[in-house]
Structure formats: structure tokens, C-alpha cells
């Protein structure tokens, strides 16, 4: 698949995310728009997965630690065949498989329940140790957010993964510099973030989370690297693709109204992908 194809899918994901939160009248649009390019790369190139057999033993595991951004994962899963695209419009309804904070009890193809921030890196560390004990070669991907780094548990996991040299972990961070209460550097300063993970013994890569060749190279490099866990810090823009949402903390967790959705979708549909 060429880069234009990836861009088209990412754009479709963004449009679906807007439709989902608008229909649900609740949810988090900003993070999912910012992660659409990375999730396109994951589901359409990077991950070893099979929508016809979501629980196959050698599948790569993808933990969504910042679970409130699940709309992006659901949209990527629907477009890659896990369930009908129309089902996305049940997002956040009682009884839907697509809960606002994902649950493995409802939908096959997820690896963990989520919602309580800060836990994903620990879940990933456990899965990575388990895979090693069982001589399995799959990778453990952990999607996490910068806001979650305010949780001490993240750093306990960072220490353990490094101690056990879990090079089967490929964690990646949505470094949009925004969390629920504002800019991360105002709420709880994180920089120098890459140096912090390096000091914990991680291999750290910093990449542009909206550039497909950088996203691809970062994941491919991490896949083949040995000796320590990997952290890819993806620089992203919250609300990417919709001008009135970009880098605006208000869109962390506010659904678009019908009028705002119309504007957002028109803007996304007008993007020229050569």
C-alpha cells in the first residue's frame, strides 16, 4: 500500500470518529483525530493480526492504555474488517460492543479493558514477560498518552520492563502535550521526556506522528531492536485535520454538535489526497 492509500484511510477514520461522537453525543474526539495516522499504520501494515481470527495465538498484542481514545481503534478495526462500519454508530450506547471505555467482555480483538489511566504499561510488561516465558515471538504494543505519565504506575512499569530487558515491548506515546486540564507542561511538566525514558534504560525514538514514513520507520526499527524495551514518542496534534479543533484542549472530551460535525466533515472531505 502506498502513502496516498494510508492517507485516505486515516482521513476516513477521522470522518468516522466525528460521526461516532456526534451520534453518541459524548466521547473524546481530539485524541482519536491525533492518533488516526498511527492507527492506520498499525492496522494496515505494522501489526500481525487477523480480523477473521482475532484471538489467534501468535497475534501481536495492542494495549490501549489511554482508553478514552478508543474511537480511533474501533474505526480502524471496522475499516480492516472486524465488524460492520455501521456498527460504529452504536458507540457508547448501552448494550453496544463499542463501549466508551473498551471492554474485552464485549468485543473480541481487544487485549485489555481500559479507562483507568496509567495501567497499560504494566499490563504490557506482564504480557511481555509471559510471551518470553512461553517462547512466543509476538510483540506487545502499548499505546499511551503523555497525561498518563503523571501516574506513578507508569514509571514502575518502565523500571520493570527495563530490568527484565523486555525488548518485545513497543510502547508508543501520543505526545500531543495536552491532557484534560490543559497543556501537560503547565499541569505536570514532563520534559525532558525522552531523556527520562532513556535514563530508565529504554530505547527511545522520537518521530512525527503524522508522517507515514516516519511512523513506519519508527515501528520497523523498534521491531528489530534487541536488548531493551522500546518507546516511540510520537509528536502529534490533538484534533488533527479539523482546523477549529487542532491543539485546543476543549476538544479532549467534548463531542461535536451536528453543526460542528458538518463543518469538520466538510473540511476533512475537502483535503486533497493526490
Residues 6+ apart with CB under 8 A from 133: none
**Residue of minimal CB distance from ligand TPP?**
147
Q: Is 210 in the site for ligand TPP (CB under 6 A)?
A: no
Sign, CA dihedral 198-170-210-97, equals: negative
Q: Is 64 in the site for ligand TPP (CB under 6 A)?
A: no
- Which CB atom, from 12 or from 176, has the smaller least distance to ligand TPP? 176
Q: Is 145 in the site for ligand TPP (CB under 6 A)?
A: yes
**Which string of x and - marks every residue 158-177 that binds ligand TPP (by CB under 6 A)?**
----------------x-x-
Using alpha carbons only, what angle is made at residue 271 by residues 21 and 237, rounded to the nearest 5 degrees?
60
Q: Is 30 in the site for ligand TPP (CB under 6 A)?
A: yes
Identify the residue among 45, 83, 115, 216 touching ligand TPP (CB under 6 A).
Answer: 115
- Which CB atom, from 81 or from 192, has the smaller least distance to ligand TPP? 192
How many Cβ atoms sit within 10 Å of the Cβ of residue 228? 18
Residue 85's SS3 state is helix
How far, in Å, CA of 165 to CA of 84, rounded?
Answer: 40
Find the shortest distance in angstroms from Cβ 138 to ligand TPP: 26
Q: Is 31 in the site for ligand TPP (CB under 6 A)?
A: yes
Can you point out the beta strands (E) in the chain?
61-64, 140-145, 169-175, 178-179, 182-183, 203-208, 230-235
Find the shortest distance in angstroms from Cβ 263 to ligand TPP: 21
Which helix (H) or strand (E) covers residue 165, if one does? Answer: none
What is the binding site for ligand TPP (CB under 6 A)? Answer: 30-31, 66, 68-69, 115-118, 145-148, 174, 176, 178-180, 238, 252
Amino acid at each position: 500500500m502506498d502513502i496516498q492509500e494510508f492517507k485516505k484511510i486515516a482521513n476516513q477514520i477521522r470522518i468516522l470518529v466525528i460521526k461516532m461522537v456526534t451520534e453518541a453525543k459524548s466521547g473524546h474526539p481530539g485524541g482519536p483525530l491525533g492518533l488516526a495516522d498511527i492507527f492506520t499504520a498499525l492496522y494496515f501494515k505494522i501489526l500481525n493480526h487477523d480480523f477473521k481470527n482475532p484471538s489467534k495465538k501468535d497475534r501481536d498484542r495492542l494495549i490501549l492504555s489511554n482508553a478514552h481514545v478508543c474511537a480511533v481503534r474501533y474505526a480502524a478495526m471496522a475499516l480492516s474488517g472486524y465488524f460492520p462500519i455501521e456498527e460504529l454508530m452504536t458507540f457508547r450506547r448501552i448494550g453496544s460492543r463499542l463501549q466508551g471505555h473498551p471492554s474485552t467482555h464485549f468485543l473480541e480483538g481487544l487485549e485489555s479493558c481500559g479507562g483507568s489511566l496509567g495501567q497499560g504499561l504494566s499490563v504490557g510488561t506482564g504480557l511481555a514477560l509471559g510471551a518470553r516465558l512461553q517462547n512466543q515471538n509476538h510483540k506487545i504494543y502499548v499505546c499511551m498518552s503523555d497525561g498518563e505519565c503523571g501516574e506513578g504506575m507508569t514509571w514502575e512499569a518502565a523500571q520493570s520492563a527495563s530490568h527484565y530487558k523486555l525488548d518485545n515491548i513497543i510502547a508508543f506515546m501520543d505526545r500531543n502535550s495536552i491532557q484534560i486540564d490543559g497543556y501537560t507542561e503547565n499541569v505536570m511538566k514532563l520534559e525532558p521526556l525522552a531523556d527520562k525514558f532513556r535514563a530508565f534504560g529504554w530505547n527511545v525514538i522520537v518521530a512525527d506522528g503524522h508522517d507515514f514514513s516516519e511512523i513506519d520507520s519508527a515501528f520497523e526499527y523498534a521491531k528489530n531492536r534487541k536488548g531493551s524495551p522500546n518507546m516511540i514518542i510520537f509528536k502529534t496534534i490533538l484534533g488533527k485535520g479539523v482546523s477549529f479543533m487542532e491543539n485546543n484542549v476543549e476538544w479532549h472530551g467534548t463531542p461535536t454538535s451536528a453543526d460542528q460535525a458538518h463543518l469538520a466533515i466538510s473540511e476533512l472531505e475537502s483535503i486533497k489526497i493526490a
